[in-house]
A and B are shown apart, each in its own frame.
Chain A
Amino acid sequence: MQIVKTQVLIIGGGVTGAGLARDLALRGVNCVIAEKHDINAGASGANHGLLHSGARYVSSDMHSAEECRDEGRILKKMAPDCIEDTGGLFVAVAGDDERYIAEFPHLCTQSQIPVKELDIKEAREMEPALSSKIIAAFQVQDASIGPFKLSMENIHQARSLGCGLLRHSQVVGFQIEKKRISATKLKNLLTHEHFLVEADQVVNASGAWAKEIAALAGCQIDLLYSKGSLLVTHSRLTKRVINRLRPSSNADILVPGGTVSILGTTSIRIENLDAIFPTVKEIDAIVGEGAAMIPELEMTRYIRAYAGVRPLVGTATEEGGRSISRSFSLIDHETEGLNNFATITGGKLTTYRLMAEKTADLVCARLGVTRPCMTRTEPLPTAPATRWTQPGSAPKLWIEHNDPQDLLLCECEMVPKSVVNSLAQSIHDQNGKPDLIALGLRSRIGKGTCQGTFCAQRIAAYLYDIEELAGREGLENIRAFVSERWRGERPLLWDTSLIQSELKEALYCGLFGVELND
């Protein structure tokens, strides 16, 4: 069996694992990330992309509010090219709790979170999409952040400093000797081969899967799963992040990101992680509620929905688990008899850097490494291959190049051949195989109005032409890609989206018959 040796094994390729890898690498610690699927496959890739000002938590969780406030400031300085500093509004509509509204600015001030009350007219001039029924508006310093770009850039720098990345590698067990994990057993999900990682320290940064991973090491974590579903609109509706000024509830936020807006979210307690997809009921609830703030949400076209699972540490009494702290938990597992294992979970995108810092502090203390954390002051370098996830970046490059041979393979999001080539290269650099799903994860491919109707086959054909696909892989790629897109389309198939999906089915089933085993 193949054995990989490293100082620190990080389980989970979400933003926490990515941030931890970079933090450790900057302190001169060698590490390897093992990820079951691909970068940001869990909640790191299924959230709003919101950089919290902290105002959301001032009434329920002041500690989280202050963490968000500080981390937001750091990230705006250290990772500006991952962030669009949109600013944010909190708005209340007629019928919302007046006491909550009245307390809000005072609570922000107490937490030293900048807030400015706006008059209604001013707010509606700033954001014309706002309902005429708003009764209060406050300006805060929310921003939008690209989670995928953020993770990729963290990993990119970590790798440039010697960190390893194992994709499609699932932890299947631990070998424990003398209060230590002596080796971690993994399975490559593509080749089905098993291999071992021998590390001095093992960090469980697997987000919602932290409980399952810890259990493999004989450790117990009280973790609740809260599913959140979100919706992507066809076009961007507001300049700023718009929050509903009321206690956390369904559809209380609309976050702009490039050319789209993201509306969410629900909070539904689930018992297991097998079926994480948005439902029709959730989508209808989100649209109905969101329309109270922004009436256009009732009529606008939605492109897709997605769902992620928030891991919440603790035991809950209330249905959605909204009242549990959104702060993170770092568990050292020493009371359970292991002294080279730690779990970092909970928390949120905004605080990922702090989570990484605290975890790296623990790991370094155990390793006897004394170099301090650098990520508070060391800017995150831009990684060239990460830009294709940002709406608008591929079209810009294509127009600049103006090369007639550089055909647009994904017309909705204007992704040309040259970008597919560049993505394929970056996937090879990560020891991966450029299939449609991996390309889609790293770009806007399939994320536009046609949801893969035209680009799935066009890109499959191109991948054959550049010899990235062989045999019957294309058919499997297409099946996997349209199936993956479907999970996000299914709950919002009415009006134009239903027409689009009928065309897609006419093509892939009616003509190509990809649903049949032939």
Chain B
Amino acid sequence: MTDILNIDCELLVIGAGMTGMAASLFAGNRNIETVQVGITSEIIFASGLLDLMGVHPMEQETIWKDPWEGIQALCRDIPEHPYAKIPPEIIYEAFEELTRFLNASGLAYVRHEKRNALVLTPVGTVKPSYFIPRTMWNGVQALQAKEPCLIVDIEGLKGFSARQIVASLRSRWPHLSHATISFPSSANLGEVYLEPLARSLVIPQTREALADALRPHLKAVRFLGMPAVFGIQDSHKILSDIENRVGVPVFEIPTMPPSIPGLRIKEVFESNLPAKGVQRFFQKRVMDVKTEAKGFVVQIGDTSPETLIRTRGIVLASGRFLGKGLSADRKQIRESILNLPVHQPLKRSEWHCYEFLDPAGHPVNRAGLVTDDWFRPFDSSGKIAHKRLFAAGSILAHQDWMRQKCGSGLAVATAYAAVNAFRENN
């Protein structure tokens, strides 16, 4: 047991998805001694779009132009929703603090202050979102103005067909056209993967070769859209450089996972959180949590305990099933780390609707942890489990981020509220 590392901290953040990353950032910004533990693989499923609020009521498929009005209506109708515990100005502040950090780290985000932006998807739908990567913003403008626009796909890249996007949208956007190019350096290789292509664009020669491949297709178009591939770091600079070379505004379109914009977020957090004093144990899992007078003793490791962390508080941001914060057997849903009670339908036959696309959404997606107004989850007796144990993000009950299109907002706002609540209760 002598080789187990002992660490003391004030706050342990469990989870390395959007919520965990945001919580660590907010804690770091407040000079709270923070340790973060979690598996980072989930964040690359992120599209890069930061949704705030899109759809409510789900049954009526009401899509909100102004997300803030949407939040107001949501909180009025569903007072248990996590957003209802946070004043709108605090949600606003949370996003400001997050995007300030992203912008300062070279990952620029843009928005309309009081309006959702509309973004193209690979299946030819149009998605409302709030904070948009700068590299996608020209697409928002082009779509809004229905400008003559060329969508280009890449030979060997699966799941992204420019022809599909154009065909699906042409009735509403007549001046759309499509083309296919071979990506420089990957021509005739067969299947191409976005990450190496994105990294290859760091080299100016590759960018020029890409521009050469694009130029013949650019007659009479005002905008150019491509799958999100313009670099991992400094994506905005790479995009500007391509724009200069081809002479039209260029934008990225989100792709199927694993996506480059998701990877950008992951890399920005990974490389900039240490400077905020956050000590990270990525790809480690929590193996045991014991409560003691001053807080918690937490064992983390890979297959056996490697590190013992004494902490005053915990932010549980371990996600849902994909993030493994929740797990389910045939009988019930459990919270995986602390075995906290999970609000859930009575039996498995009620977890899901008979139709996958039922607009009401599946009841299982509203299962999760129930908390007090400071995001402290309740134990089985209905009392808060611990005064400095907080839960944030998608693990919370009474929300359906996938259908309400509020995933990032939920992550960021509840992480912000939880960290601030910890600070006030510390």
Contacts and interface: CB of A to CB of B under 8 A. Distances in A.
Interface of A: 277, 279-281, 284, 287, 403-409, 454, 457-458, 460-462, 464-465, 467, 469-472, 474-475, 478-479, 482-483, 485-486, 490, 493-495, 498-499, 502-503, 505-507, 509-518
A472 B170 CA distance: 9
Contacts of B354: 277, 490
Contacts of A490: 352, 354, 356
A515 B121 CA distance: 14
Contact of B257 (A287, A404, A485, A507): A507
Residue in B63, B160, B170, B256 whose Cβ sees the most chain A Cβ within 10 Å: B256
Contact of B55 (A458, A470, A493, A516): A516
Contact of A474 (B45, B49, B167): B167
B168 interface: yes
B349 A281 contact: yes
Contact of A495 (B161, B163, B329): B329
A465 B161 contact: yes
B139 interface: no
A512 B121 contact: yes
Interface residues of B, number: 59
A461 B190 CA distance: 17
A458 B153 CA distance: 13
B167 A469 contact: yes
A503 B42 CA distance: 10
Does more than half of chain B's interface fall in helix, strand or loop, or is it mixed? loop
B402 A505 contact: yes
Contacts, number: 159
B357 A514 contact: yes
- The 3 A-B residue pairs with the shortest CB-CB distance in the complex, in nearest-first order: A404-B190, A486-B356, A461-B161
Contact of B359 (A475, A479, A515): A515
B167 A475 contact: no
Given A454-B159, A471-B167, A512 B125 contact: yes
Contacts of A287: 330
B297 to A, nearest CB: 29
A334 to B, nearest CB: 43
B133 to A, nearest CB: 14
Contacts of A493: 328, 348, 351-352, 364
A461 B159 contact: yes
Contacts of B121: 511-513
A498 B348 CA distance: 11
Contact of B357 (A457, A465, A479, A502): A479
A279 B352 CA distance: 11
B407 A458 contact: no
Interface stretch (B199-207, B234-242, B319-327): B319-327
Given A279-B349, A474-B123, A518-B125, A506 B329 contact: no
Contact of A514 (B55, B125, B352): B125
B156 interface: yes
Given A474-B168, A475-B124, A494-B328, A513 B405 contact: yes
A461 to B, nearest CB: 4
A458 B164 CA distance: 11
Interface string B189-213: 1110000000000000000000000
A485 to B, nearest CB: 8
B47 interface: yes
B126 interface: yes
Contact of A457 (B159, B163, B328, B407): B159
B123 A515 contact: no
